[in-house]
Amino acid sequence: MKANRAVTPYLFLGPALLVFGFAVVLPVAMTAVYSLTDWNGYGSMTFVGLDNYVKALGDSLFRDSFAHVIAYIAATLVLEVVIGLCLAGLVSARRRGSLWFRVAIFTPVMLPMVVVAILWAFVYNADFGLLNAALEAAGLQNLQKVWLGDPSTALLAISVTSGWVYAGFYMTIFYAAFNQIPSEVVEAARLDGAGEWQIFRRIKVPMIRSAVTVAVLLCVTGGFQGFDLFYVMTNGGPYGATEIPTTYLVKSVFTFGNVGYGSAMAVLLTAVVVVVGLILARFNRQRPEGARS
């Protein structure tokens, strides 16, 4: 009986570990191995040491792709997290029903990113797009642009699309956090004559710092992994202006067959995501107790 019991936990754990090991752990290790080779995916594999990494660090396209994704992350921090925070503040400043509003703002989160991308490519369309039509209706024809075809606006246009989706997502997180603030704290401030903006800025936001950190963590690590919008809306163009590490490495591997080089870039991207993620997660844990999550 006893010997039997010792096996039991492994029987419960086994299937999950098997699937996770097969589909994640093993390929992570293999990707790391590929990154040390010159390989096109089917022919012979040559071991080249760290050559791919040296090449990646010197590859101006790869470096540019990081610059692009960092600009994109900076934009989405404002368009998603900051706007989400302000929206949550607006909603929670009202004392009664705002469900309809939260529904309207959250709906885009439900949609596949591909659907969002196709829809917004239409919004930005130069011939019949909603944006140019709206500018024309407002008498601002001189601001009309070929939004996704112009290197100076394409990255921002994609960031705005991402903001349209995720501002509602972060609003939801912040709204839930605001609801956990004891109402006496807010009421006390109000009795002391604090205005709504002051209450928001000096009391509510500092009290949900933990939720803000989590949101920043999600936005930054998610930003590095962004792919769907970029692939569908511009696929890196125009003239490489929206090339980010994910689109660049997918092209390297699956279009040009540079499996080794693509793997090295994938490992570098993974390292960045994990390190940034751990730093932000740590930042959250070191927060003094008392500020609530």
Partner 1 sequence: MSTASARPRAGRLLGLLTTLALIIIAVVFFFPMVWMVLSSFKTNSDIFSAPFALPTSIDFARWGEAWEVGHIGQYALNSVIVTGASVFAILLLGAAAAFAFSRYRFRGRQLFMGLLALGLLLPLQSYFIAQSTMFTDLAITDTRLALIIPYTAMGLPLAVYLLKVYLDSLPDELFEAARIDGAGDLRVFWLLALPLLRPGLATVAIFSALACWNEFLLALLYIQDDSLKTIPTGLLAFSSRYVTDYGLLFSALSIVTLPMIVIYVVFNKQIIEGITAGSMK
Comparing CB distances to partner 1, the nearer of 31 and 153 is 31
Interface region with partner 1, contact rule CB under 8 A, candidates 73-81, 143-151, 198-206, 248-256: 248-256
- The residues near 54 (Cβ < 8 Å, ≥ 6 apart) are none
Interface region with partner 1, contact rule CB under 8 A, candidates 48-56, 66-74, 144-152, 227-235: 227-235
Q: 102, 153, 203, 240: which one contacts partner 1 (CB under 8 A)?
A: 102
Q: 127, 184, 192, 289: which one contacts partner 1 (CB under 8 A)?
A: 127
Footprint of partner 1 on residues 207-226 (CB under 8 A)? 214, 218, 221, 224-225
* C-alpha to C-alpha distance for 9 and 13, rounded to whole angstroms: 6
Q: 101, 149, 203, 240: which one contacts partner 1 (CB under 8 A)?
A: 101
For residue 236, state whether it binds partner 1 (rule: CB under 8 A). no
Comparing CB distances to partner 1, the nearer of 73 and 253 is 253
* Structure token digits, residue 18: 């098997």
Residue 203 gets which letter from DSSP? I
Footprint of partner 1 on residues 20-39 (CB under 8 A)? 20, 22-31, 34
- Per-residue contact string for residues 44-83; x = within reach of partner 1 by CB under 8 A: ----------------------------------------
Comparing CB distances to partner 1, the nearer of 30 and 140 is 30
Q: Closest approach of Cβ 36 to partner 1, in Å?
A: 13
**Are residues 170 and 84 in contact, defined by beta-carbon separation less than 8 angstroms?**
yes
* C-alpha to C-alpha distance for 161 and 163, rounded to whole angstroms: 5
C-alpha pair distances (Å), 80 with each of 32, 102, 210, 222, 288: 33, 15, 17, 12, 26
- The residues near 225 (Cβ < 8 Å, ≥ 6 apart) are 246, 273
Q: Closest approach of Cβ 39 to partner 1, in Å?
A: 9
Q: 8, 44, 183, 286: which one contacts partner 1 (CB under 8 A)?
A: 8
Q: 56, 75, 81, 91: which one contacts partner 1 (CB under 8 A)?
A: 91
C-alpha pair distances (Å), 41 with each of 38, 44, 255, 263: 9, 8, 11, 11
Residue 183 gets which letter from DSSP? H
Q: Closest approach of Cβ 30 to partner 1, in Å?
A: 4
Q: 71, 82, 126, 133: which one contacts partner 1 (CB under 8 A)?
A: 133
HSE-CB at 233 with a 13 A cutoff on CA atoms is 36
Footprint of partner 1 on residues 154-183 (CB under 8 A)? 164, 168-169, 172-173, 176
Peptide linkage before 108 cis (omega within 30 of 0): no
* C-alpha to C-alpha distance for 79 and 159, rounded to whole angstroms: 8
